[in-house]
Amino acid sequence: MNPLSTTDRTALTRSKERGQTDRAALYEVLDAGMICHLGVIVNGSPRVMPTGYGRVGDTLYLHGSTGARSLQANGEVCVTVTHLDGIVMARSTFHHSVNYRSALVFGTPRVAEGAEKTAGLRAITERLAPGQWDTAREPNKKELAATVVLALALDEASVKMRTGPPLDDEEDHLLDVWAGVLPVKMTFGEPVPDPLLRSDIKVPEHVRLRCP
């Protein structure tokens, strides 16, 4: 695996100790998420939209309706995936922070077609709902035509993370203030069946597996 490239915009200028330069770290952050934030420029202004994504090897896939404004931009994008892992509470307000893992991917996506388009949709669906692609009805021609799939090469990316306790100034250590980390987790609740679901269909194993 080749390391992540360093370019002007992926070289960390601050908190360099939080940077990760191996590709495995990038995969790990991307493969732990369900939605990303897609940044585009529309009429000269930045626009950031939450959306699904998937990864196949060194390509990230995004999708949307053919009518979606954010996919018409046709230019450079920045895709950011963030996991909030903890609230870092310090003895001083200044040293409050968060534990997190984040990845920024830069590039100009191309439109995926044919088999790649379907593979991209599969990756996006499976990221959100693992096991569903082989269970649910696959997209038909009309649905495929209504969907744009964009492919973004993982050529230029940066990964940043923070872990561990607060880092207070030494002279604050004697303060009468609690300090530590409040862990944050994304968890799933009990599945809620569609009110129109046939009563003989039970929650499948691959969904049940994600529940508490």
- Per CB under 8 A, contacts with a second copy among 103-162 are 104, 106, 121-122, 125, 128-129, 132-133, 135-140, 143, 147
- How far apart CA 10 and CA 8 sit, in angstroms, is 6
Identified binder of a second copy from the candidate list 1, 57, 185, 199, rule CB under 8 A? 185
Q: Which is nearer to a second copy, 1 or 198 (CB)?
A: 198
- How far apart CA 17 and CA 167 sit, in angstroms, is 13
Q: Which is nearer to a second copy, 52 or 55 (CB)?
A: 52
Identified binder of a second copy from the candidate list 24, 111, 145, 177, rule CB under 8 A? 177
Residues of span 57-96 touching a second copy by CB under 8 A: 65, 67-69, 76-80, 82, 84, 86-87, 89-94, 96
CB of 42 to a second copy, least distance (A): 7
Per-residue buried b or exposed e for 109-132, using 16+ beta carbons within 10 Å of the residue's own CB: beebeeebbbbbbbbbbbbebeee
In 3D, which of 203, 209, 67 has the Cα closest to residue 145?
Answer: 67
Q: Which two tokens stand for residue 29?
A: 């952050």
CB of 17 to a second copy, least distance (A): 14
Residue listed under structure tokens 């695996």: 1
